Structures are given as C-alpha cells and as structure tokens.
Amino acid sequence: MAGQAVGLLEVFGCVAAFVAADAAAKAGNVSIESLDKNKPANADALPVPLIMCLKIRGPVADVRAAMEAAKAAASSITGVVTEYIIPAPDENTEKMLKISAI
C-alpha cells in the first residue's frame, strides 16, 4: 500500500487492540495492515502486561478519522500508550512497516 498514510496506535492488551481495529475499520476507508505485540521489560508495572500496535493504512483524512475512533475505543477498555500518523512514508519506512511480531 505504498503511497498511503499509515496510522500507528499502541494500546494495552489484545482485546483493546481488536476493539480499536474494529472501530478504525468502521470509521474510515482504511485497511488494518497488522497487529503487533510487545511485552516490555516492565510489563508487570503496566495496567496490562502486553502492548499491541495497530497499523492502519489509507488516505490521510480517513486514517485520521480511523485513529480517533480507535483511540476512543481502546481508551474505554484499557488505554492508549502512544499514537502517530505518517502521512507519506518513505520507501525505507515502508520496508520497516512490513515487520510484524505476530
């Protein structure tokens, strides 16, 4: 999906990630590229010991709308760690976006 924006949303837990992905898919003309998992070293100190990263792709305006919906959905369950939108990823960034832990 080169040439499209990417939204990255890290949330606490698998359930929050799936609920966020569902909300994102319904909120804009986007596709869910992947869900990645990360169990950080300080996992026991976190509200949920697993961080999931949701990757959303599509036109910039749709990615923004999808990210807002996803954030609201995840916040109602366990919470959001961080978020970022890359409007036009570089070709080297595109390579990195293909990496998935799941």
Tens digit of pLDDT for each residue in 3-16?
A: 799 999 999 888 99
Question: Rounded to an integer, what distance in angstroms lies between the CA atom of residue 97 and that of residue 75?
Answer: 24
Question: Which pair of structure tokens corresponds to residue 79?
Answer: 């919470």
Mean per-residue pLDDT for 38-66? 85
Which of 37, 34, 41, 35 shows the shortest CA–CA distance to 51?
37
pLDDT at residue number 7: 97
pTM: 0.87
- pLDDT-derived band at 102 (thresholds 50, 70, 90) equals low
Assess whether pLDDT exceeds 70 at residue 2: no
Cβ atoms of 35 and 52 closer than 8 Å: yes
By the 10 Å C-beta count (0-12 exposed, 13-18 middle, 19+ buried), 11 is classed as buried
Please, what are the domains in the chain?
Answer: 5-97 (3.30.70.1710)
Assess whether pLDDT exceeds 60 at residue 1: no
Cβ atoms of 74 and 32 closer than 8 Å: no
Assess whether pLDDT exceeds 90 at residue 55: yes
Give the least confident one: 11-15, 58-62, 83-87: 11-15
